Amino acid sequence: MIRQIMMGKTHIAIGLAAATFTAPMLRWPGLDNGLLTFAVSAGAVVLGSLAPDLDQPGSTATKEIAGPFGKSRIAAMLGGAAAIYISDKINLKFNGYDFRLAIMVIGIILLIMAFIKHRGITHSLIGIIAAWYAFNTLQGLTIYKHYIGIPIVEPFMVGYIVHIAADFFSGGIAPLYPFVKKRIKFPVSIKTGGILDKLLIRYLALFLAIVRMLNMSNKLMAFVVRKG
């Protein structure tokens, strides 16, 4: 049986390539605005590129983001229940900020991971809207503005949307889920781990992303020239 679940590394490479090429529209900061700004923006792209697979415990996304709670649906269920319990019973405040809501949200996400179908709601238009709302809310939080304050919505959403677009070529998606559960897909699906996946997509996308990042950063280009 041909596996039709695109690997996390491929999604990350495609997401970074897409984000760098859409940089002018995304306010992509580049290294000229500081390494921290660039790192946060790039991290948002990576997170967005993995986020739709939060509905698949055991995937790169769930293991990287949720740690041990992302290894299986049972682990996600237990972790989610524990997080919600902690958010209700323990006072979690730091510098005047209450983190109980954040812990509760993490618990809800883990429970979603435990029960929803793969390539269902997270790969649909509803999932896109929900992801945008969640990160737009996060970016608007006072604590985020105070400690970080770097735009993350645009790069995150590029990674998220490109992930879904890539899955159209690898098994298909149901964009109108749950109202229409039938998947639409490209006539020829990409085999996970095959030559097309690794060479023509993952590594090519990563190469394009790196080249584009170098071209976008005068500081980094100057550094490379000096070292060369």
pLDDT tens across 111-133, in order?
888 888 778 889 999 999 999 99
Please tell me the distance from the alpha carbon of residue 16 to that of residue 72, in angstroms, as a whole number: 27
Evaluate if residue 171 carries a pLDDT over 60: yes
**Local confidence band at 223 (pLDDT 50, 70, 90 cut-offs):** very low
* pLDDT at position 119: 82
Evaluate if residue 3 carries a pLDDT over 50: no
The least confident of 66-70, 151-155, 193-197, 205-209 is 193-197
Mean residue pLDDT across the chain: 77
Q: Is 172 left (phi over 0), alpha (psi -120 to 50) or beta?
A: left
* pLDDT at position 159: 92
* pLDDT at position 16: 85
Residue-wise DSSP of 159-225: HHHHHHHHHHTTT-B-TTTTT----B--SSPPPTTSHIIIIIIIIHHHHHHHHHHHHH-HHHHHHHH
Evaluate if residue 205 carries a pLDDT over 80: no
Please indicate whether residue 46 or residue 141 has the higher confidence score (pLDDT): 46
**Local confidence band at 161 (pLDDT 50, 70, 90 cut-offs):** very high
| Tens-place pLDDT, residues 58-77 | 776 677 667 788 888 888 89
Question: To which residue do tokens 């055991």 refer?
Answer: 58
Please indicate whether residue 4 or residue 84 has the higher confidence score (pLDDT): 84
Tell me how far the alpha carbon of residue 159 is from its chain's centroid. Answer: 6
Q: Which pair of tokens denotes residue 54?
A: 């939060």
- Going by C-alpha positions, the residue among 160, 159, 169, 166 that lies closest to residue 128 is 160
| Tens-place pLDDT, residues 6-27 | 577 788 888 888 888 787 676 6
- Its pTM stands at 0.76
Tell me the domain boundaries of the chain: 8-56+118-227
* pLDDT at position 94: 65
Residue 1 CB neighbours (<10 A)? 3
Evaluate if residue 209 carries a pLDDT over 80: no
Residue range 180-199: average pLDDT? 72
Please indicate whether residue 41 or residue 66 has the higher confidence score (pLDDT): 41
Please tell me the distance from the alpha carbon of residue 80 to that of residue 188, in angstroms, as a whole number: 38
* pLDDT at position 42: 86
Evaluate if residue 32 carries a pLDDT over 60: no
